């Protein structure tokens, strides 16, 4: 039996059943297919609404702490990034010097 992309995941309702077992995905009936899409969209929108509400509360509860943590990450990763740039430049410098040395040797 062939399955299409909509049948490769579990149902959005949270039943953990394969989508075709939960929502009638195998049905060739366009009304059944439309109902299935509305069903899936409802749960996707519900999850997005829940996420947005949590996002607001997380920002209120943890915002200042997260700002401090973000500052610490930017500071530290910035230092690591800058050291990587210095190392990269040093490697390029060495490559250039070796190229010059070997070019001069091959001319002799």
Which domain covers residue 78, as residue numbers? 5-107
Q: Which residues of the chain have pLDDT under 70?
A: 1-15, 19-27
Residue 31 burial (CB count, 10 A): 8
Give the chain's domain count.
1
What's the confidence (pLDDT) of residue 17?
A: 73
- Please report the pLDDT score of residue 12 as a whole number: 60
pLDDT for 102:
93
| Cβ neighbours of residue 12 closer than 8 Å, sequence gap 6 or more | 19, 39, 40, 42, 43, 44
Q: Please, where are the H alpha helices in 13-29? A: 19-23
Three-class DSSP category at 9 = coil
């Amino acid at each position: 039996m062939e399955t299409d992309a909509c049948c490769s995941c579990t149902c959005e309702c949270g039943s953990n059943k394969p989508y075709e077992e939960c929502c009638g995905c195998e049905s060739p009936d366009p009304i059944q297919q439309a109902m299935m899409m509305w069903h899936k969209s409802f749960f996707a929108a519900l999850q997005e609404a829940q996420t947005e509400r949590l996002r607001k509360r997380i920002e209120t509860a943890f915002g200042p702490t997260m700002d401090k943590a973000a500052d610490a990450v930017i500071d530290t990763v910035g230092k690591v990034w800058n050291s990587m740039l210095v190392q990269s430049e040093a490697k390029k410098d060495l490559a250039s010097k070796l190229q010059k040395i070997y070019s001069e040797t091959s001319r002799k």
